[in-house]
Amino acid sequence: MDKTISKDEIKSAARKRWIRIAIWTVPLTAAAVWGITLLGGKTVKSSDITLATVERGPLETAVAASGRMVPAFEEIINSPVSSRIMAVYAQPGDSVTEGMPLLQLDLQESETQYRNLHDSYLVKQNQLNQLRLSNRSALDELTTLIGIKEMEVNRLAITVDNERRLDSLGSGTGDRVRQAQTAYATGQLELKGLRQKLVNERERLASLEEAAILELGNSRRDLDMMERTLSQGRIPAPHDGILTYLSNSIGSRVAAGEKVAVVGDLSRFKVEAEVPEGSSYKVRPGADAIVRLGNVELKGSVANVEPQSVSGAVPFTVTLEDASNPRLRPGVRVQVYVAYGFKDDVVRIPSGSYYTGPGTYQIFVADGSSTLRRRAVKLGDSNRQWVEVTEGLSPGERVVTADMKQFEKYSKLKIR
């Protein structure tokens, strides 16, 4: 005998059927959507992409590097003494004028040293004056003795003449003549000795005076140096420019000779750049370089390359032909291209933001007028205008040169 099925049982059975259908339908739908996505269900506006034609031509190879503008001339200011920072009058980034105070150092100890040096200088100056007076007195005394001896010798010469005349007249004796001659000869020798002593004494006293003058000069230089130290105690700006660095922690100690400030000259600029270690061999001093600042390109050359790498990159400096261009500002980031070779005939495509160095790229290639298909392409050397294609593209094909990372999961795109 048939049993009547209740309405609740009928509803329960229906729910179970719908659940089973949903269990199978959802994955199938998701798979279908996923498949459509991978097979190119995405569309892109033609105005959002840039298409370029693959061509063949020469390529002046260049290595790309990043850099920033810095003043062509910077002067480092060191602390003149070991001291503490008492006050700060400026901050990094401020424009400064020549003589403008930047810091105030504690100069109490230096002022004490200055007073001691000043007193020592005055003592040495007084000693030199006393030495000069003493030397003058000694030389005057010798000069007087020589004058007296000259008169005495003249008198002895007259005596010799008188004794000879008396002896010739018979009123004198030979002994008295000889005695007079001996006294005269002795006087001459004594006069000669006094004259030589005067010469020697002049040289000796002059040497002593010269030594005292040198000592006084050294004391004067020490005093002048300390005066300059005190005058620089407020760390004045050496010239007009921008303050690029300042040790501005009040109360901190600084050692003598320690860098406390850097002032850059803003009338001329250069580029401090860095290139990855793997490409550093391509950068050589003297190589031509192009510096791109927005839509402005400036010519330059590599001035020097650092011998050691820093954090996987090798720093180098580029000097600019137009180092005073009004577009230049300190700290502005720029792109640098350094030429290092030339290739006569290569397959090439325009450079763009997609290119980050030699390697394999996923590039969208035009397939007809309304479809883009993703393709693995190997790229090689480059310059600021062109990128070398080593594998995957042929002349005449059209490729997207914009950055397409947002579409990297699609194998095909529709153009509308």
User: In this structure, are residues 344 and 311 in contact, taking their beta carbons and an 8 Å threshold?
Assistant: no
| pLDDT for 7 | 57
Q: What is the pLDDT of residues 275-315, one digit of tens each?
A: 988 888 889 999 999 998 888 889 999 999 998 888 889 99
Q: What is the CATH number for 95? A: 2.40.50.100
**Residues 112, 226 within the same domain:** yes
Give yes or no for a contact between 90 and 242, defined as CB atoms under 8 angstroms apart: no
Confidence of residue 9 (pLDDT cuts 50, 70, 90): low
Specify whether 241 is located in the same domain as 383. no
3-state DSSP: the chain helix, strand, coil percent, rounded to 5? Answer: 40, 35, 25
Same domain, 132 and 220: yes
Q: How far is 201 from 180, CA to CA, in rounded Å?
A: 31
The model carries a pTM of 0.49
Q: Among 31-40, 63-72, 189-198, 250-259, which is the least confidently predicted range?
A: 31-40
Q: Do 171 and 207 fall into the same domain?
A: yes
Question: Do 209 and 148 sit in the same domain of this protein?
Answer: yes
Q: Say if residues 377 and 361 touch (Cβ distance below 8 Å).
A: yes
In this structure, are 152 and 200 located in the same domain? Answer: yes
Kindly give the interhelix angle for 174-231 and 108-169, rounded to the nearest 10 degrees: 170
As for how many domains the chain has, the answer is 3
Q: What radius of gyration, in Å, describes the C-alpha atoms of the chain?
A: 49
Whether 113 has a pLDDT exceeding 80, the answer reads no
Owning domain of residue 398: 42-62+341-415
Residues 142 and 218 in one domain: yes
Nearest to 76 by CA among 217, 229, 247: 247
Give Cα 182 to chain centroid, integer Å.
84
Query: Which of 71-85, 122-136, 233-247: highest mean pLDDT?
Result: 122-136
Nearest-angstrom CA–CA distance, 416 and 411 = 17
In a domain, 161, yes or no: yes
**For position 33, what pLDDT does the model report?**
45
- For residues 114 and 217, membership in a common domain is answered with yes
Tell me the mean pLDDT in the region 366-375.
88
Q: What is the DSSP letter of 281?
A: G
Question: Is 96 within 8 Å of 243 (Cβ atoms)?
Answer: yes
| Tens digits of residue pLDDT in 380-411 | 888 878 899 999 999 999 999 888 888 888 88
Per-residue confidence (pLDDT) for residue 302, from 0 to 100: 94
Q: What pLDDT does 170 receive? A: 74
- 3-state SS, residue 404: coil
The single residue listed with the structure tokens 């290139």 is 275
State the Cα–Cα distance between residues 307 and 286, nearest whole angstrom.
15
User: Which helix (H) or strand (E) segment is 38 a member of?
Assistant: helix 7-38
- Confidence grade of residue 175 (pLDDT, cut at 50, 70, 90): confident
Residue ending a domain, among 257, 292, 319, is: 257
Q: Burial, 174: exposed, middle or buried (Cβ in 10 Å; 0-12, 13-18, 19+)? A: exposed
- The 10 Å CB-count burial string (b at 16+, else e) for 11-50 is eeeeeeeeeeeeeeeeeeeeeeeeeeeeebebebeeeebe
Q: List residues bridging with 387 in a β-sheet.
A: 349, 382
Do 200 and 134 lie in one domain? The reply is: yes
Encode pLDDT of 83-107 as tens digits: 888 888 888 888 888 888 888 887 7
C-alpha to C-alpha distances, 342 to 126, 316, 339, 386, nearest whole angstrom: 77, 22, 9, 12
DSSP string, 80-122: SSSEEEEEE---TT-EE-TT-B-EEE--HHHHHHHHHHHHHHH
Show Cβ contacts of residue 270 under 8 Å, excluding neighbours closer than 6 positions: 69, 70, 71, 72, 303, 317, 318, 319, 320, 323
Query: Does residue 356 sit in the same domain as residue 408?
Result: yes
Residue 203: inside a domain: yes
CATH of the domain at 368: 2.40.420
326 falls within a domain? no
Q: 35 pLDDT exceeds 50?
A: no
Cα 325 from Cα 290, distance rounded (Å): 14
Residue at a domain's end among 173, 197, 231: 231
pLDDT tens digits, one per residue of 307-332: 888 888 999 999 999 888 888 888 88
**365 belongs to a structural domain:** yes
Tell me the range of 164-168, 317-321, 331-335 where mean pLDDT is highest: 317-321
End-to-end CA distance of the chain: give it in Å, rounded.
68
Query: Do 219 and 368 fall within a single domain?
Result: no
Number of helices (H) and strands (E) in the chain: give both, helices first. 3, 18
Is 280 a domain residue? no
Provide the mean pLDDT of the chain: 83
What 3-state class would DSSP assign to 129? helix
Token representation of residue 260: 């406390």
Phi-psi region of 93 (alpha: psi -120 to 50; beta: other; left: phi over 0): left
The residues with which 261 forms a beta bridge, in sequence order, are 77, 246
In this structure, which amino acid lies at residue 39? L
Candidate from 233-237, 316-320, 357-361, 372-376 with smallest mean pLDDT: 233-237
- Do 249 and 178 lie in one domain? The reply is no
Residue 278, in any domain of the structure: no
